[in-house]
Amino acid sequence: MSTLTALRDVTFERNLSLRKLKGKLFEIIAFFAILLGIAMLLTLLIDVFLDGLPWISTKLITEFPSRFPDKAGLRSALQGSVWLMVLTAVMAIPIGVGAGIYLEEFAPQNRITRFIEINVANLAGVPSIIYGLLGLGLFVRQLGLGRTLIAGAMTMALLVLPIIIVTTREAIRAVPQSIRQAALALGATDWEVSRDHVLVYSAPAIMTGIILAMSRAIGETAPLITIGALTYIAFDPKGPFDIFTVLPIQIFNWVSLPNPDFHGLAAAGIIILLAVLLSMNALAIWLRNRLQIRW
């Protein structure tokens, strides 16, 4: 009896150390995985900041692009980006959230719904340049909107719609069925259930999806180049029907110039773009947390 336990203890001990080793090994691999990601990000950020910081100044925001690096700024591109974001959000959010609610709460489970679902999921993976070509053909040429902000925003809205729809659906699906049943049992209509319960519970997660979508839109370049926003613009856009340029495109333009000073300016432009992106995200996160605390 005692020999048997001793024997078992020996194998257990041996196995235990092996198991512990395996655990340690996995931990190390996982640690390096995250280290790799962070190291990449840090390298990029440090590189950009080293190149760009000397060029950061208020001129970058107040001046139009120029052939003199020390006089050049992002004024028109920054305004273009803000205009584009606002217009895109105004179009994409109501439609995207609405579509998500319909698909999740109201749509009958049949072939057409499934067909739409598969399409939406696939659209989220379509390369952005394809949306640019669609925007060029449909909005710029067919609808005759020209190479304007509104055409750009409509293209961007199409681009981010699938993301918003998919995340809205995920968020709504996470709301427990019992909440709906409880509300229905008390005599609420489908509309009241969605409006007063489902939407409210899922709002924080929906906001996250919207943040992701808008972050993608602000950094996109390819579709806007396709619809013709690769342009030197030295005036303020006057409204949605004006021609425009955006931050990533101005950066792209500066990088391609021969004078290395413009490459420094491009790096500074990237810092500004990061700042805009992060403040947008911060705003959205603050909004989300506000909603969350209330609940």
Partner 1 sequence: MLNKVRPLFFVLVVLGLILSACAPATTPTETTQTEKIVEKTVIQTQVVEVEKIITPTAGPVEGTILVDGSSTVAPITQAVAEEFQKVYPEVRVPVGISGTGGGFKKFCNGETDISDASRPIKPSEVELCQKNGIEYIELPVAFDGLAVMVNPSNNFAACLTVEELKKIWAPEAEGVITNWSQVREGFPNQPLTLYGAGTDSGTYDYFTAAIVGEEGSSRGDFLPSEDDNVLVQGIAGDPNALGFFGLAYYEENQDKLKLVAIDNGDGNCVLPDLTTVSQGTYQPLSRPLFIYVNRARVDQKDEISLFIDFYLKNAGQLSKEVGYIPLTDEIYQLAQKRYDNRVTGSIFEGQGSTIGVSLADLLAKE
- Residue closer to partner 1 by CB (options 197, 216) is 197
Is 69 a binding residue for partner 1 by CB under 8 A? The answer is no
Exposure string (b/e) for 97-117, b if CB count within 10 Å is 16 or more? bebbbbbbbeeeeeeeeeeeb
> 188, 230, 284, 285: which one contacts partner 1 (CB under 8 A)?
230
State how far the Cα of 277 lies from the Cα of 217, in Å rounded to an integer.
10
Q: By CB under 8 A, what part of segment 92-111 binds partner 1? A: 93-94
State how far the Cα of 267 lies from the Cα of 289, in Å rounded to an integer.
32
- Residue closer to partner 1 by CB (options 203, 205) is 203
State how far the Cα of 83 lies from the Cα of 283, in Å rounded to an integer.
17
Please, what is the end-to-end C-alpha distance for the chain in angstroms? 60
- Residue closer to partner 1 by CB (options 9, 190) is 190
Closest listed residue to residue 149, CA positions, set 139, 158, 134: 139
Interacting span for partner 1 (CB under 8 A) from 63-71, 111-119, 165-173, 276-284:
63-71
Is 258 a binding residue for partner 1 by CB under 8 A? The answer is yes
62: its two tokens:
């107040």
Exposure string (b/e) for 190-215, b if CB count within 10 Å is 16 or more? eeebbeebbbebbbbbbbbbbbbbbb
Residues binding partner 1: number (CB under 8 A): 46
Q: How many residues does the chain have?
A: 295
CB of 238 to partner 1, least distance (A): 5
Is 200 a binding residue for partner 1 by CB under 8 A? The answer is yes
Is 217 a binding residue for partner 1 by CB under 8 A? The answer is no
> 17, 57, 119, 256: which one contacts partner 1 (CB under 8 A)?
256
Q: Are 154 and 227 in contact (CB under 8 A)?
A: no
- Residue closer to partner 1 by CB (options 128, 250) is 250
> 59, 66, 170, 285: which one contacts partner 1 (CB under 8 A)?
66
> 60, 77, 84, 145: which one contacts partner 1 (CB under 8 A)?
145
Q: Are 223 and 159 in contact (CB under 8 A)?
A: yes
- Residue closer to partner 1 by CB (options 114, 195) is 195
Is 235 a binding residue for partner 1 by CB under 8 A? The answer is yes
CB of 241 to partner 1, least distance (A): 5
Is 205 a binding residue for partner 1 by CB under 8 A? The answer is no
CB of 177 to partner 1, least distance (A): 19
**DSSP letter, residue 72:** -
Phi, psi of 241 (to 5 degrees): -100, 20
Per-residue x/- track, 180-199, partner 1 (CB under 8 A): ---------------xxx-x
CB within 8 Å of 97: residues ≥ 6 apart: 164, 168, 206
- Binding stretches for partner 1 (CB under 8 A): 64-67, 87, 89-91, 93-94, 144-148, 150, 195-197, 199-200, 203, 228, 230-235, 238-243, 253, 255-260, 263, 291, 294-295
